Amino acid sequence: MPRCGRPGRRAHAGALAERRVLPADPGGRRMRRVPATITPYPDGPLIARGDIELVDAGGAPIATRRRTVALCRCGLSTIKPFCDGTHKAAGFRTE
């Protein structure tokens, strides 16, 4: 699974990456915008980085806590829409 910002820590699939532009964060500092990118990892998840907003099929927002999130592509994750690493055991392969 891809690593997140801190060395030695793995990105948890349930901890999403979203950074909304707000007037100020709780500490009173201004938050900066980060362009959104989506990167497909070979035989693995889609990695979404930056300012993103995830919504479910009904349009309801899905809560996020981080700027980087791994999204399931194999369809076998138990924490959809996030990746839980199940693709490895299932032998999921991309073309």
Q: What is the mean pLDDT of residues 49-76?
A: 92
Give the bridge partners for 55, in sequence order.
Answer: 61
Q: Look at the pTM and tell me if it is higher than 0.85.
A: no
- Higher per-residue pLDDT: 91 or 9: 91
How far apart CA 90 and CA 65 sit, in angstroms, is 28
Domain limits, the chain: 1-86
Contact by Cβ (8 Å): 70, 1: yes
Q: Tens digits of per-residue pLDDT, 10-30?
A: 444 444 333 344 444 555 555
Q: Which distant-in-sequence residues (6+ apart) come within 8 Å of 64 by Cβ?
A: 15, 16, 17, 18, 52, 54
Give me the residue label for tokens 């990456």. Answer: 17
Task: Average the pLDDT over each of 5-9, 31-35, 37-41 and give the range with the smallest value.
Answer: 5-9
